[in-house]
Amino acid sequence: MEIVALLVSSRHAFEGRPSDGPRPDPEPPGREVVTVRAGLGLAGDRFFNHPAHRQAAVTVIAAESLDHLVRELGLPAAPDPHLTRRNITLRGFDVDGLERGTVFSLDSGDGPVRFRAHRPAHPCAWMDVVLAPGAFRGLRRRGGVRCEPLDDGLLRLGPATLTV
């Protein structure tokens, strides 16, 4: 299993009408390492310590969902995972198969960090604008999961262990 992308963004990019385009990030959102805080989210992220998002502070998606778009939409390559705005992109694990309430841990070398899966992270119409026409429909039931972090810790890009 591998962590292929990590995203922390201080602002929400998908506001307003998709035809107006996404808001630019004040700095590149891709990270090599992120700090996870129990019950709060990823340090520096737009949903960190946001009361309405405590059980959904971290979003996780499978890279295989983007590979699916290549086949379904005939794309030449998988879209950049950062464009989905999911915080963690994993390769080699069925993220969408996680049932509500499932606790899993990720360890990328700095010790395990546990998360509790809550609700699906449904795609939005913005996916047709930022990924490719048809991506909104193509990511249905493949948009990932919203999670609550249960431990403090670090996650890094690269090989990782996932335990359910």
The pLDDT score that the predictor gives to residue 26 is 77
Structure tokens at 56: 């959904």
19 belongs to a structural domain? no
- Which residues form the domain of 156? 2-9+28-163
Instruction: Point out the residues of the chain with pLDDT beneath 50.
Output: none
Structure tokens at 62: 């499978």
The pLDDT score that the predictor gives to residue 145 is 98
90 belongs to a structural domain? yes
Number of domains the chain is built from: 1
- With contact defined as beta carbons under 8 Å apart, do 36 and 48 qualify? no
Bridge partners (DSSP) of residue 35 are 154
The pLDDT score that the predictor gives to residue 21 is 75
The pLDDT tens digits for 23-36 are 777 788 899 999 99
Residue 134 to residues 25, 131, 140, Cα–Cα distance (Å): 24, 9, 10
114 belongs to a structural domain? yes
157 belongs to a structural domain? yes
For residue 79, give the CATH number of its domain: 2.40.33.20
18 belongs to a structural domain? no
- With contact defined as beta carbons under 8 Å apart, do 152 and 40 qualify? no
- Scan for tokens 């909104």, then name that residue: 136
DSSP 74: T
107 belongs to a structural domain? yes
The contacts of residue 25 (CB under 8 Å, 6+ apart) are 9, 10, 11, 13
88 belongs to a structural domain? yes
129 belongs to a structural domain? yes
